[in-house]
Amino acid sequence: MDTILILDFGGQSCHLISRRLRDFGVYAEVLPSDYSAKEIMARPEVKGVILSGGARSVYEKNAPEFDKAIFALDMPLFGICYGHQLLAKQLGGTVENGTVGEYGQQTLSVTKKTGLFAGLASKEKIWMNHKDVVTKMPEGFTVIGKTSHSAIAAYASKDNKRVGVQFHPEVSHTDHGTEMLKNFAVTICKIKPTYTSANLLKETIKEAKDTMGNERAVIGLSGGVDSSVAAALVARAIGENLTAVYVDTGLMREGETDYLRKAFGDKGLKLIIVDAAKEYFSALKGVTDPETKRKIIGTLFVRIFEREAKKTKAQWLIQGTIYSDRIESGLTKHSANIKSHHNVGGLPKDLGLKLYEPLRDLYKDEVRTLAKTLKLPKEITDRQVFPGPGLAIRIIGEVTPERAAIVRKAGDIIESELMHTKHWKDIWMSFAVFLPVQSVGISGDERSYKHPLVLRIVESRDAMSANFAKLPYEILETISTRLTNEIKEINRVVYDITNKPPATMEWE
């Protein structure tokens, strides 16, 4: 199959590039930034190379580079953000530290509507996230796009085979980013789109079979789409050798344990339910640091899985880890640690089981597509995202059973109000965050001194970027009224209107 290679320089949305390419049928692989020209030459199916973004400066000591011998391959190259700067620098251009950074959505003035920008408008909404800028192009290159702060926001060689853009076409905030990627893959690299989700399903099941053979495994099942898809895939690969373990941490959604029993109890999957609420609240007593919380939760999860694995004589632990978990945990080479996801950065070093993560390179929307291909029930495929550490990271400060009960009830109220509106289909997550402060209010004509809740409702396609939901005031007022009326510890509700970036989905 014709293939695009993406060299990973540690950008938060690197794998999102491959996900977008697969969206329109082009197969892509993400590889380390030092993947050599010799290795590429040995693969005739490779038709183009993309250099991803990254958190470093091209002039930093030990900044990641790539094999310059790739230039001799006469193969299309596409640099994105850091890759745009690195490509320019290695071809003889100049990169400087910009006086003003560009972050968020900007307007690109397209100066050449051919090649990468064929079929696009003269003005395009794009997503920027950079400080350094290209100030001088390599010889033989032309500016094809600029912004108010970047005179060389996009450039191309005369034959369009070498292009660079300072922005991120892979994120949903770039309005026609998919068209740009398609122009590169299909028009410039001349690839015929033949890749489908059925290919992905077949490959993933085969990989699981090849990896585990006839050995036994346990999977951490949470009821969310990631772990449910992972369980369905691995069950097809190893059948009765798989046992699902659901751990009730006391930090789950309202009615979650009963939901799991109904959703999976009669599906032919061996299911074990472990009540571990006391263990979790004990382990989290007095802990306020969010990174410590995540690591405690991750370690305890694994210790429980190890206990259950001994009972079933399992050698493998399966997790529904997806790519956004890994990249935010700083697990890939050159990537920065944003926060340690409990199933990645929270894993103990002395893990007593072999680890397998069938969804490790996929994004949430890609997992949902697999769920539909697997014909999983709609109540699983359409569920709102819920964090692995549960309500613990929606409680700022110490995690207690009382605070968990507040955010659990609040979450149930929020979802019940939103799911009957036309906005529900566009909402990625909706939840409350407990703040360990108090403010003066009025209750029954008397003074109250209670806690506030933060209402967080976001829309997203892939979890790598998100916008706060611009809901009508009437809906927000109804939710606020119910929260303050039905939860006696709350007298104030505030709405978080921050996008990702600069924020993350969760507060911790």
Give the catalytic positions in this structure.
81, 168, 170
3-state secondary structure of 249: coil
Nearest to residue 251, comparing CAs of 394, 398, 433?
394
3-state secondary structure 349-373: CCCCCEEECCCCCCCHHHHHHHHHH
Q: Say how far apart CA 97 and CA 187 lie, in whole Å.
A: 33
Q: Where are the alpha helices (DSSP H) in 332-472?
A: 364-373, 378-381, 401-418
Q: Say how far apart CA 53 and CA 166 lie, in whole Å.
A: 9
Residue type, 251: L
Contact 463, 421 (CB under 8 A): no
DSSP classification of residue 335: -
Q: Say how far apart CA 363 and CA 478 lie, in whole Å.
A: 33
3-state secondary structure of 115: helix
Q: Say how far apart CA 388 and CA 297 lie, in whole Å.
A: 9
Q: Say how far apart CA 194 and CA 133 lie, in whole Å.
A: 36
In degrees rounded to 5, what are phi and psi of residue 403?
Answer: -70, -35
Contact 166, 133 (CB under 8 A): yes
Q: Say how far apart CA 88 and CA 71 lie, in whole Å.
A: 12
The label of the residue with tokens 């470093």 reads: 56
3-state secondary structure of 184: helix
Nearest to residue 487, comparing CAs of 404, 397, 396?
404
Burial of 331 (0-12, 13-18, 19+ CB in 10 A): middle
Q: Where are the alpha helices (DSSP H) in 240-330?
A: 256-264, 277-283, 290-312, 323-328
Cβ neighbours, 10 Å, residue 37: 17
Burial of 209 (0-12, 13-18, 19+ CB in 10 A): middle
